[in-house]
């Protein structure tokens, strides 16, 4: 595993310009999402009763909000806006994946980091696999959401709800992780020109080592995130602001590093 992490780090260092582009993409997306949510939430908060208002005013505000949400189409435009944002993000994700995986493959072979060429060359099969991944990931919610509603209606306390639902949602999260790892293995294969059947066989064969390095990288990223949050709390001020903004770049770096480590584990075990 240490070898995979070292080799993955070398591949990641070669992708510094790509990481910068991805960081700016995440930054712009976050800013746009923040401004969109702000434009919706701030006008609503201005109508919230002030601190000197009576408790009845607060109750009236909540009753009015509940009535308008349940009896009018007030929320429909916002739901369409949210659906449009999610659709746009979903459309861009396989393009970025195709460019990055194609670039990792060529960088490992010593032929540069053709990120943009990878988007043009591999976006179709990667997008297809990504669509299948999303379908397999979200399909269990067709069962889990009605189950959660029935459990909420029948249970007498939050402890009973948690005891009933946590095992199901934990199993769903494990399924999501397994599907993600298998899908990524197949994406490595199709980008390398292995074909769908060959990519599936290699993804299954490499599942355990790729899952192992994935868990290790996720744990390392979580530890760095917790350390960054703790440092921000201990040293508030300008240092905390700089650290908070720099963490977004570090998080982008970790995402590319994780993908590079997964690629190294897949490349070493596929034969």
Predicted TM-score of the model (pTM): 0.84
Check residue 69 and give its pLDDT.
Answer: 64
Give the chain's end-to-end CA distance (angstroms, integer).
17
Instruction: Please count the structural domains in the chain.
Output: 1
Check residue 270 and give its pLDDT.
Answer: 67
CA-wise closest residue to 17 among 119, 120, 112: 112
Check residue 22 and give its pLDDT.
Answer: 92
Phi/psi region, residue 114 (left: phi>0; alpha: psi -120 to 50; beta: rest), is beta
Check residue 125 and give its pLDDT.
Answer: 92
Check residue 32 and give its pLDDT.
Answer: 83
Check residue 185 and give its pLDDT.
Answer: 92
Q: What is the 3-state secondary structure (H, E, C) of the chain?
A: CHHHHHHHHHHHHHCHHHHHHHHHHHHHHHHHHHHHHHHHHHHHHHCCCCCCCCHHHHHHHHHHHHHHHHHCCCCHHHHHHHHHHHHHHHHHHHHHHHHHHHHHHHHHCCCCCCHHHHHHHHHHHHHHHHHHHHHHHHCCHHHHHHHHHHHHHHCCCHHHHHHHHHHHHHHHHHHHHHHHHHHHHHHHHHHCCCCHHHHHHHHHHCHHHHHHHHHHHHHHHHHHHHHHHHHHHHCCCHHHHHHHHHHHHHHHHHHHHHHHHHHHHHHHHCC
Parts of the chain with a pLDDT under 50: none
Task: Measure the CA dihedral 259/262/263/267, to 10°.
Answer: 180
Check residue 246 and give its pLDDT.
Answer: 78
Check residue 180 and give its pLDDT.
Answer: 94
Q: Which two tokens stand for residue 35?
A: 């401004």
CA 120/CA 143 separation, integer angstroms:
38
Check residue 265 and give its pLDDT.
Answer: 92
Check residue 215 and give its pLDDT.
Answer: 93
Note down the domain range covering 255.
2-269
């Amino acid at each position: 595993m240490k070898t995979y992490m070292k080799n993955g780090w070398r591949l990641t260092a070669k992708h510094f310009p790509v990481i910068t582009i991805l960081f700016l993409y995440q930054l712009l997306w976050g800013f746009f999402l923040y401004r969109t949510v702000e434009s919706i939430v701030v006008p609503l908060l201005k109508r919230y009763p002030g601190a000197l208002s009576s408790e009845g005013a607060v109750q009236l505000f909540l009753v009015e909000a509940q009535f308008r949400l349940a009896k009018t189409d007030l929320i429909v435009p916002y739901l369409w806006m949210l659906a449009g944002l999610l659709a746009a993000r979903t459309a861009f994700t396989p393009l970025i994946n195709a460019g990055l995986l194609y670039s990792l493959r060529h960088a490992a072979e010593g032929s540069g980091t053709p990120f943009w060429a990878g988007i043009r060359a591999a976006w179709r099969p990667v997008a297809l696999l990504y669509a299948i991944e999303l379908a397999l990931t979200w399909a269990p919610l067709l069962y889990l959401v009605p189950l959660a509603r029935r459990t909420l209606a029948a249970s007498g306390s939050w402890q009973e709800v948690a005891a009933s639902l946590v095992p199901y949602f934990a199993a769903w999260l494990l399924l999501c992780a397994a599907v993600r790892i298998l899908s990524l293995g197949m994406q490595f294969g199709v980008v390398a020109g292995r074909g769908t059947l060959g990519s599936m066989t290699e993804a299954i064969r490499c599942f355990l080592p790729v899952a192992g390095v994935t868990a290790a990288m996720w744990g390392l990223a979580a530890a760095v995130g917790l350390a960054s949050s703790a440092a921000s709390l201990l040293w508030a001020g300008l240092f905390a602001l700089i650290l908070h903004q720099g963490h977004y770049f570090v998080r982008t770096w970790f995402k590319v590093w994780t993908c590079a480590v997964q690629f190294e584990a897949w490349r070493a075990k596929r034969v």
